[in-house]
Amino acid sequence: MWKQQRRKKLQSAPFPPAWRRILEERVPLYGRLPEPDQRELEGHTQIFLAEKNFEGCGGLVMTEEIKVCIAAQACVLLLHRDTDYFPDLRSVLVYPGRYFAPTTRHLGSGIVEERQEARLGEAWPEGTVVLAWDAVRAGAADPKVGTNIVLHEFAHLLDFEDGWTTGAPALDGGESPSAGKRKMASWARVLGAEFKKLQAGAQRGDELDLDVYGATNPAEFFAVATESFFEWPQEMQENQPELYEQLKGFYRQDPAQWNCE
């Protein structure tokens, strides 16, 4: 109850004009939202910034611009939904640009390869998101690119919330068990078919509707599909209408109807 009261107070507080200027100048997605959604997003952003820790890495000096840009884009995924604000997330680590992370790969016969892998972002179930600021800034500035590292990584956090990283976030929404099962079956049918279609197209070298990275596994497919749902909604609605309807139902938003000028 104390947490709910504190969040209501944060939501009702005036949104700082300097933060709104950052969104207007740096995050065109904010300008596409209907006005009531903009106000809701501002409230969510204030809660996110109050509850999550931001750390600059690799020499990055943390600024309000960085924090507001990341928080607002992450909170787009929360509009119109009952939410606990990515409850397992504790820290957002931000590098100036592409960073390197240690990885291991099993080559067989007991051989393990260790190397440093360049990355632009990653989400950890243990409570951390890591982002490259130049990728965040580029993705926010031009929605027409169709890639957005913040939407991608925070979609992974939604996927983690049910305890499994499968590309199927919690879907029941408080309905009856039978309604929840029908929703889950529909989700599995549509996203499973689209995932297989993307894999087949990637193998043939076709021109694809989604980023080929989505063919990696179902979890990456969900994250990539989330990016396209918000960045290329008209294209998805036209070319992948069933996928669009599934994401529309989950996110409770219809970005194809937003102002996309």
Tens digit of pLDDT for each residue in 190-221?
999 999 999 999 999 888 889 999 999 999 99
Mean pLDDT value across the chain = 91
Q: What are the two backbone dihedrals, phi and then psi, of residue 67, each rounded to the nearest 5 degrees?
A: -65, -45
pLDDT tens profile 30-79: 999 999 999 999 999 999 999 999 999 999 999 999 999 999 999 999 99
Residue 107 has pLDDT above 90, yes or no: no
Residue 261 has pLDDT above 60, yes or no: no
- The answer to whether 228 and 251 are in contact (CB under 8 A) is no
**pLDDT higher for 176 or 260?**
176
- The answer to whether 158 and 251 are in contact (CB under 8 A) is no
At the fourth CATH level, which superfamily is domain 162-261?
Collagenase (Catalytic Domain) (3.40.390.10)
* Structure-block tokens of residue 3: 């947490």
Find the range with the poorest average confidence among 67-81, 164-178, 181-195. 164-178
Burial group, residue 149, by CB count within 10 angstroms (0-12, 13-18, 19+): buried
The arithmetic mean of pLDDT across residues 171-190, rounded, is: 80
- The answer to whether 54 and 17 are in contact (CB under 8 A) is no
Residue 175 has pLDDT above 90, yes or no: no
pLDDT of residue 103: 74
Residue 146 has pLDDT above 80, yes or no: no
- The answer to whether 13 and 6 are in contact (CB under 8 A) is no
Q: Where are the domains of the chain?
A: 162-261
The arithmetic mean of pLDDT across residues 98-103, rounded, is: 82
180: confidence class by pLDDT, cuts 50, 70, 90: confident
pTM for the model = 0.91
* Structure-block tokens of residue 81: 């939904």
Report the b/e string of 214-237 with b at 16+ CB within 10 A: bbbebbbbbbbbbbbbbbbbeebb
The arithmetic mean of pLDDT across residues 251-259, rounded, is: 92
